[in-house]
Structure 1
Amino acid sequence: MAAVVPGASGLRMLTTGIRLEVWGDPISHSRSPELHAAAYRVLGLDWSYGRRRVDEVGFPRALAELGPEFRGLSLTMPLKGAAYAAATSRDPWAEATGAVNTLRIAGDALLGVNTDVGGLVRDLREHGVGDITAARLVGAGATATSALVSLSALGVRDIDIVARRPEAVAPLRTLGDRLGAQVTVAPLDASVHEEVPLTIAALPGGAAVSAAAADALAAAGGTLYDVVYGHWPTALARGWERAGGRAIPGIGMLLHQALLQVRVFVSGDAELPLAEEDAVLAAMRAVIADDHAHSDMGD
């Protein structure tokens, strides 16, 4: 059913009965339903956005059983690889990372998008990070892959990756070569590091990092952007605090990647700004204002 309603930019079509969900395991902590609901209220869209616990084994069946009312899915861990495989087409960030956190459903067509990359780029720029050529990345997992692509999008060409197991960096080094970035590797327990203006921490929430390792990284790491925020301050953030440095939690990445998801669900294009986007972003920002008590980095 559809109805035409007035909006700030003229008449617009309001489609009812549309459903969206965020899937993952675990999923009860997700802030995505609140963020998306705030956006659709501003846009005047009577869409529902829920959450569902789905693991990798159950993902294909759950996807196949979706009804025609579903317009899209947000995917958190551990489903980003499965969503990548299920997509019938993908955006460049998804292709670069091998990870999809957004599926736009149109009949049998599944557009796979990675909004984590754009979300991190947008938040770094919002915090005044830009015009740098070198950075450090702590971690070598799936989130580090999106972070590396984000650094490349910002023009960073020298990336030092610090990991517990240097051999785990091999896929990131290969990705760096494809992106035209020079990747070097250092162990997490190194006592001295080259100076860089920015460090991105892509470790899981609650990851154990010794005070000595955190202090060594802080001494030469410039600004810290830690993708975690629910376990704040992280061990690395405490090292930056001891050094008197600047440490930024990753809640803004959650906000901006969700805004890009809203773009995808509304128009099918993460690059196409929304009508009333400033108001949408303000409403979404209000949801997470002063609230760092949730861990939702998978969204």
Structure 2
Amino acid sequence: MPARQHCAVLGDPIGHSLSPTLHRAGYAALGLDWSYDAHQVGEVDLADFLDGLDDTWRGLSLTMPLKRRVLGLASSVSERARLAGAANTLVLRAGERAADNTDIPGAVAAIREKHGGALKSATILGGGATATSIGVALLELGVDRVELLVRSAARAEETLEVLRGHPSRPQVTIGALDEAPVQTDLVASTIPASAQSRSLVARCAGADVLFEALYDPWPTPLAASAGDRALVGGLDLLVHQAALQFEMFTEHPAPLDAMRAAGESVLAERAASAPPTS
């Protein structure tokens, strides 16, 4: 009997991750005897973790703070991961580690699922690796003007460099999260819910599309303000990027509906058991 194949998601913190739920639901739907677990791994531990894997391992999903660190530990890096300067996926085959970024095509698919119109301008709240990938996705969708709103300009330097260096040559500026006006077609948030002040949410009221990268807690203040505007949620992004990872790891088409339903079920359970807010 062939050895059981293994995959996992790595990050720190990692206890909130829905990735095991989504990937396991995919395995169950296709009758695959694979495992997928969550491991708390920080930047200093990543190399040792990778070195300890045997040939039954087929893939890893990477979340913060590992998306940039993993590039230096990969055997090969895809063009989109190189462009974003970050990878959320490591495909393991025959001793090779192939780094890729499914956040970019996952974000494109998630946006197009909720909004089919043209997008020319975007504001991104935050400047980390997730902001970079979403920014690249927006440029691929035709956005030519991006403003990054951040608390620390220094922490957004890599994202600023990546977006300004994109082949489409967009206009990319940086502003203060606490005070800059928001006058764009789309707002994408990669910041914690606790950082979404009433003032910030109010400044985002004119955007036609809201993209909230978080899925827990849900809804965030920004997501709750959507009303009848198009809202792309963190689960939308997670499901689409996970489906692409699933196909890379298993070489089977991903059962997208089963993966989404599993994620929705767990989030509903979490919401039902959460203490009431005052």
TM range (shorter): 0.7 to 0.9
Gaps (5+ residues) in structure 1?
3-15, 268-273
Q: Does 1:251 align with 2:235?
A: yes
**SS of 1:80's equivalent?**
coil
Equivalenced residues, count: 268
Q: Does 1:287 align with 2:268?
A: no
In structure 2, C-alpha distance between the alignment counterparts of 1:217 and 1:57, rounded to whole Å: 37
- Measured against aligned partners, the alpha-carbon deviations of 1:87-129 in whole angstroms (never above 9, x if no partner) come to 1111122111221211111122100011111111111111124
- Measured against aligned partners, the alpha-carbon deviations of 1:196-221 in whole angstroms (never above 9, x if no partner) come to 221111113x3323312321222x32
Preserved CA contact (<8 Å) 1:87 1:111: yes
- 1:50-89 aligned within 5 A: 50-89=37-76
Instruction: Give 2:276's aligned residue.
Output: none
In structure 1, C-alpha distance between the alignment counterparts of 2:110 and 2:126, rounded to whole Å: 19
In structure 2, C-alpha distance between the alignment counterparts of 1:167 and 1:50, rounded to whole Å: 34
Preserved CA contact (<8 Å) 1:211 1:239: no
In structure 2, C-alpha distance between the alignment counterparts of 1:103 and 1:282, rounded to whole Å: 24
Instruction: Give 1:124's aligned residue.
Output: 111
Instruction: Give 1:200's aligned residue.
Output: 188
**Are the structure 2 counterparts of residues 30 and 111 from structure 1 closer, same or farther at C-alpha, using a change threshold of 3 Å?**
same
- TM-score by length of structure 2 reads 0.87
Residue type at the aligned position of 1:201: S
Instruction: Give 1:25's aligned residue.
Output: 12
In structure 2, C-alpha distance between the alignment counterparts of 1:246 and 1:124, rounded to whole Å: 9
Preserved CA contact (<8 Å) 2:85 2:162: no
Instruction: Give 2:102's aligned residue.
Output: 115
Instruction: Give 2:275's aligned residue.
Output: none
Instruction: Give 2:222's aligned residue.
Output: 236
**Are the structure 2 counterparts of residues 130 and 166 from structure 1 closer, same or farther at C-alpha, using a change threshold of 3 Å?**
farther
Residue type at the aligned position of 1:264: M
CA RMSD of aligned residues (A): 2.3
**SS of 2:127's equivalent?**
coil
Residue type at the aligned position of 1:257: Q
1:209 corresponds, among 188, 196, 199, to 196
Gaps (5+ residues) in structure 2?
272-278
Preserved CA contact (<8 Å) 1:208 1:235: no
Residue type at the aligned position of 2:256: L
Instruction: State the structure with more CA Rg.
Output: 1
> 1:43 offset after TM fit, Å?
2.6
Instruction: Give 1:5's aligned residue.
Output: none
- TM-score by length of structure 1 reads 0.81
**SS of 1:66's equivalent?**
coil
Residue type at the aligned position of 1:222: D
- Measured against aligned partners, the alpha-carbon deviations of 1:218-277 in whole angstroms (never above 9, x if no partner) come to 2x3222111112122323334545xx755442111011111010011023xxxxxx44x4
